[in-house]
């Protein structure tokens, strides 16, 4: 299965780092690791990550410095502090430097995964709202006016159709799974077993693709849907 999200894990305790990495990969995340602050910075600037998990006590550069630097560089990437430091002042400092969440060791993997999912979902929803106008080929989606045009012809969509189309467009070229669609369009965390998504994809195709020679909406069997 192709990875949807990539995580930078910065942890200097090798055994714990490997345990966290294995758990994240089991849950479908791609993981890059760094055991010191210098390597963490190198990875952060050379790769594109969806989220950072950051220890505070690190050789080279500590987690507070990294958090401040990462936040200054990228205003929106979620940063999770995972540390043995449980003092209130440490938490306050971390949030002041731009952290989105703070988890004290020892911790439960279930809690870590749940918080990661929540932060990534918020980030994706924010991305949906940030794009005023999305243009793909001759398709134009105006997020402010909620109007859609194809080859300069206005296409009338329902609210759910618009959200679904916008999600696919924001993820242009990337496969969007049914689970992601359920979470971000229908606000459901589980598959109800209905064919609602298939029905709405069909609605979109009839409006967006059928009247035009060039097709934009595609299906990858057993994976999801994408626009190209």
Name the token pair of 95. Answer: 């949030």
| pLDDT tier, 109 (very low <50, low <70, confident <90, very high otherwise) | very high
Q: What is the pLDDT of residues 31-81, one digit of tens each?
A: 999 999 999 999 999 999 999 999 999 999 999 999 999 999 998 899 999
| pLDDT tier, 1 (very low <50, low <70, confident <90, very high otherwise) | very low
- Cα separation, 201 vs 41, in Å, equals 41
pLDDT at 118: 86
- Cα separation, 95 vs 79, in Å, equals 10
Q: What is the pLDDT of residues 216-228, one digit of tens each?
A: 999 998 889 999 8
- pLDDT at 129 exceeding the cut of 70: no
Which residue is listed with tokens 């949906």? 128
Predicted TM-score (pTM) of the model is 0.61
pLDDT at 228: 87
> Rounded mean pLDDT of 114-127?
81
| pLDDT tier, 179 (very low <50, low <70, confident <90, very high otherwise) | confident
**DSSP code for 176:** B
- Cα separation, 159 vs 164, in Å, equals 9
State how far Cα 72 lies from the chain centre.
Answer: 19
Mean pLDDT for all residues in the chain: 90
């Amino acid at each position: 299965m192709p990875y949807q999200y990539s995580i930078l894990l910065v942890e200097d305790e090798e055994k714990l780092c490997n345990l966290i990495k294995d758990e994240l990969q089991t849950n479908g995340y791609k993981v890059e690791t760094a055991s010191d602050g210098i390597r963490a910075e190198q990875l952060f600037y050379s790769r594109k990550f969806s989220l950072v998990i950051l220890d505070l006590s690190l050789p080279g550069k500590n987690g507070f410095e990294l958090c401040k630097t990462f936040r200054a560089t990228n205003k929106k990437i979620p940063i999770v502090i995972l540390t043995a430091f449980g003092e209130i002042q440490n938490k306050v400092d971390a949030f002041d430097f731009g952290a989105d969440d703070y988890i004290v060791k020892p911790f439960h993997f279930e809690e870590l995964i749940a918080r990661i999912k929540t932060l990534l979902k918020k980030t994706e929803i924010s991305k949906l709202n940030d794009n005023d106008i999305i243009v793909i080929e001759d398709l134009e989606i105006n997020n402010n006016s909620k109007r859609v045009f194809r080859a300069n012809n206005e296409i009338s969509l329902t609210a759910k159709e618009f959200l679904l189309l916008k999600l696919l467009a924001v993820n242009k070229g990337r496969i969007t799974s049914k689970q992601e669609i359920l979470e971000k369009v229908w606000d459901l965390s589980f598959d109800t077993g209905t064919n609602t998504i298939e029905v709405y994809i069909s609605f979109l195709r009839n409006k967006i693709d059928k009247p035009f020679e060039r097709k934009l909406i595609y299906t990858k069997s057993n994976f999801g849907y994408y626009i190209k």
